[in-house]
Structure 1
Amino acid sequence: MAKITFDTIDGGGLAEQFRLALAQIGRNIIDPNMDPKEKRGLVVNLNFIPGETGGINVEYSVKTKLAGSRKGSSLFLIGQDAKSGKISMTEYGNNRPQVAVYSAGNSGPAEKECDPDAGEILNEETRGPIDLRA
């Protein structure tokens, strides 16, 4: 009678499922979108069911517990045009145009040439000192 080993059960079927489960866990661990600190698990379950004729039926299963997706966060900026009521939303810090700020008494931002990296207005006219009391 041949020895029963992990590799011989079901003609190697159990060992193959085990290897596939290990590969699945490995892919989950190296996936940058998965939580790197969450534990992974693998369970091999064997059930022995005695038969009436002296034989034993064996059922097996291999189950994995994988990490879920990494939690992410972002910051969205939102603004509303006072005249048209149009709402604009953009993601902060993603090299996308930022939402223009509007006030009720303003007809909108004036078209001026500006440096998109620094946000600095270029070629702005200087008219002397500003009278803050006025």
Structure 2
Amino acid sequence: MSHSRVLAAYRGLLRAQRKTFRNDGARIADAARFTRNEFLKNKKDISDPAKLEQLVQVAEQASALITHNVVQAVRKPTSSELFELRITPDTELGSNDSIKKARGASVGAVGTGCCGGAAKQAH
């Protein structure tokens, strides 16, 4: 494993964070601080090539996850209650069919869904 691949994974994470949280300096700083601390914390494992490969893969996967699956909610300037999602060209916009199917399979009987549906019906 080359040192340049580790640096590329680190830079990729920082780039994904900057892009996702654009114009939110506090979130970018928090994410960068967390990323730096995680890389430094795992520096001791650098002698084990298998562990290093695993950590680089985790960093690359995290970068892809941030880029494709995380969106930023930004408060609308005209309202204190409304937000809009800042979708980037890289954001995956799939259908919710798989989520609906999974929810339907785990719900079981009508009214036993999330938020205490069964308890509300009992009243």
TM-score for the superposition, normalised by structure 1: 0.29
- Larger of the two Rg values belongs to structure: 1
Q: Which has the higher helix share?
A: 2
- Greater RCO, 1 or 2 (C-alpha within 8 Å, sep 6+): 2
Q: Which has the higher strand share?
A: 1
